[in-house]
Structure 1
Amino acid sequence: MGRPTRRRLLIWFLAPALLVSVAGIHSYLAAVKNQTPWEGGGFGMFSTVDKRQARFVRYVLVTPEGEARVRPPEHLHTYVERLRARPTSSRVESLAQYLANATWVRTLPDSSGRAATRGPTSDSGPRYRFLPSHETSDRPRATVDSVRVEVWRYRFVSRPRGLEANKLLTATRGGNEHPR
């Protein structure tokens, strides 16, 4: 048994060096770039509840009548999932700009007088829905002063025991100028 060759030394140190570099990159992304520990390597995935499902995005239209929480368009589902997994300022700002440039219409109230919508909206005041470009509506278009997009994260706190929501990022962009 002689001295180990350079090739053997390289093999011995390659795997640990690779593991350390992947762990370092993942730690950086989780700490600095808000990536969940469950995404992109997952060295901390079993030690935390911080995963994509523990994050949510809130969408708020600011109109002359006040603020109203709205649902995002369905075609943005994949984009929003990526945003929840690794929120960045540019992604939040792009989404806010897209929604600010979109067409929104007031929804019709149902028989109880409440607007017929599903999902997270404010309990009082007008309600709105996204109007796709291929769709027409007899409802007047909403005047949107701005759109605010917020990315939140749930986390467990031990005292008092429970979940707490913390805002990670927010972006506000000016709205459309075409009420019709």
Structure 2
Amino acid sequence: MDQENTTKEAIFAGGCFWCTEAVFERVKGVRAVVSGYTGGSIKNPAYREVCTGRTGHAEAIKITYDENEISYHDLLEIFFSTHDPTTLNRQGNDSGTQYRSAIFYTDEKQHEAAVSFIEILEKEKVFPDPVVTTVEPEKPFYVAEENHQDYYNNNTEQPYCQVIISPKIKKLNRFFNDKLKSTYGI
């Protein structure tokens, strides 16, 4: 099977896109991660517009991955393990609909996998509160401004990165070390 046939896309919104981007760009099999906006009502929104919460967009990432190296199920597991899927329109101090937890599926297999995964989380009571992550069909994805791309790697000394993102990276290293690219593993 050639590379083209095994490359897929996944779209996740898990609060601030700087956090989710930093997590997934470290995962083996992930070819690219792009920060952007999806799920809203206007075309080509700017960050300042999305931040108001009035456009309906979520800060999200689009992941390009090789399903021969990492499964969609594994991506879901990492997604749910590295953000709080039980807080409505909030991740930590970031609040508003732009910080909601959502999965934007690209095909019916992803839809079924995401719904099934959430059902298992709920049945097993993995979280003390109900999962509020929405599962929605893919909507237009608008790439965020250049200064939002690869934000964590370019700004690791920023207080937000040290306080909010670095703990997520440490958790990723601790629980998913076997799924990390060799340049990022422990």
Give the TM-score normalised by the residue count of structure 2.
0.29
**Greater RCO between the two (CA within 8 Å, min separation 6)?**
2
Which protein has the bigger helix share? 2
Give the TM-score normalised by the residue count of structure 1.
0.30
Which is greater in Rg? 1
